[in-house]
A and B are shown apart, each in its own frame.
Chain A
Amino acid sequence: MVDRRAPPRRLLEREGAFSWVMLAPGVLFLLAFVAYPFFYGIYLSLQERQVAKAGVFVGLANFVTLFHDGVFWQVARNTFLYTIVTTVLKLLGGLAMALVMNQAFRGRNLARAFLLLPFIVPTILSTVAWMWIFDPTFSVINWTLVHTGVFSQGFSWLGNATLAMVAIIIVNTWRGIPFYGITLLAGLQTISPDLYEAAAIDGATVNQRFWHVTMPIIKPILVIVTMFSIIFTFSDFQIVYALTHGGPANATQVFVTYAFDLGMSAGQLGMGAAVALTMLPALILLIIGLTFYLRRE
């Protein structure tokens, strides 16, 4: 059969040519606005650079300054604490939510829709509600604690170093639980009831059924959801910025808010870029781990 189409069209019928024509716009865009800024960020981190001024190349001086800076290590500790504690809480809370929701009842879809709301509403806007919940004078938590007689006086939630950390952990957990809960629920729903029946007939207890039937099946989802969540919690900005701005006295300062303070508020682009880049090793480890896991599955 003779192909009568014009040559450029015929070329487009080849897999390679067609693929690259389709890919080109997206690839070029991502090269220009992701790859280029990424490498430009590395270049910036090697400079002493103020906004609207020319940069001076200083080698690794910014990183040396950071590693001798007590605040930087506090920021690192805060970020790891925040990420680890919220991840454990979200995992347990999400699993509990999924197990509760995996029972048959009327209105389950409606309940699922409502439970996912914290995850879909713009984070900053829901954090505004939490700011008022944690208000030093008019906190509803304090009101409840005082009026039920648990404490005689309320707490300054965002003014105390420990409580401020507790507050950002609560809000992050609140926002993240539905993500775990609803994805794990989807995993639970792929488990055939026959498996449970078979296990029950074999005399497995509820506990054994959970660990030997449920867990092996949802484990891949559990791992992937957790890895995603860790990556995004580790680089969280919105909740901390809105609730505490990293305060009091850097008690809740995390990598991204610190990079923002140095790079944007103080206008030290070089230092800010350096702080952001210090997140890279941990992120690369996570991403490689996730990629390997996905490949193996």
Chain B
Amino acid sequence: MVGGRQLGTRMLRLYLPLAACLILMLFPFYWMLITSIKPNRELYSQKVMPLIVHQPTLQHYIDLLTETNFLTWTYNTMLVAVITTAVSLVLGTMMAYPLARMKFPGAAVVAIGVAATYLVPQPLLFIPMADIINRLNLGNTLTAVMLTYPTLLIPFVAWLLMGYFKSVPKELEEAARIDGASRFQAMVRIVLPLCTPGLLSAGIFAFTLAQNEFLYALIFLAKSDVRTVPVGAITELIRGDVFYWGQLMAAALLGSVPVAIIYSFFVDYYVAGLTAGSVKS
């Protein structure tokens, strides 16, 4: 049969490995989903076949939304992520623009500084930072994380945007300046609109990083009503040795939804951002 052998190689080289990749990468999410809708008698039974749900229930979701502060945590997470993303985009853009397009004394030092702050990881800073936040009396406030998240996001945004800003030809800006635009106007009206994809990539990336942050939130937010979703889930749905598995999974799933939705709309920008750091630089 014509094509039979072709189908065989395609099976072996594409479909089988692809299926294996998809199953391995997605199984934990499937597991999250079905655990969250299993009744406790199925969850905690070694006799029931665990790979499917026999009697689905929404009880864990109801408990999560009514008996815990999950909605407050979600609100906190979103608030912090949106504000820190916005602040980091503005400050990061303001840093990247001159670094990418202008010659001025000190440019090299600042550029190296930005790269170093991006690469020096947060674990080197969290202990002194905890003491500083304490002395500023900011413990258990969202201000503490709003002040610290941009330290992770600004260097990243600046670094990513520098690549995009460099790609805009200088002539465009010069033409605008000859027509009487100031430097600032040339930036806002000419260069930034051309770099919209870069700004979107940076924004989405910063937003996912902010949603993912855990260490600062864990240290600074010890009261339930100021917690973010990751910290709330791991500290309050696990009490001592008691794990509320159904609720934990429901929280994990619901907590992933905002990131997943934004990501699904802008997946191309996300991938562009992911690769820009390594491919373009």
Contacts and interface: CB of A to CB of B under 8 A. Distances in A.
A186 B271 contact: yes
Contact of B91 (A25, A138, A237): A25
Given A122-B211, A125-B251, A290-B119, A221 B278 contact: yes
A103 B13 contact: yes
Contacts of A160: none
Contacts of B50: 138, 140, 143
Interface string B19-32: 00110111011011
Nearest to B26: A114
Interface of B: 13-14, 17-18, 21-22, 24-26, 28-29, 31-32, 35, 43-44, 46, 50-51, 91-92, 94-95, 97-99, 102-107, 110, 112-117, 119-132, 134, 147-148, 150-151, 154-155, 158, 182-184, 208, 211-212, 214-215, 219, 229-231, 233-234, 243, 245, 248-249, 251-253, 255-256, 259-260, 263-264, 267, 270-271, 274-275, 277-279, 281
A33 B148 CA distance: 7
Chain B contact surface mostly: helix
A18 B260 contact: no
A179 B274 contact: yes
Contacts of B105: 16
Contacts of B248: 128, 132
Q: Nearest 10 CB-CB pairs, A to B?
A: A19-B98, A124-B230, A41-B128, A235-B121, A186-B275, A125-B252, A26-B95, A19-B104, A16-B104, A256-B123
Contacts of B31: 129, 132-133, 140
A138 B26 CA distance: 20
Interface string A255-276: 1100110011000010011001
A232 B121 CA distance: 7
Given A16-B104, A120-B208, A129 B129 contact: no
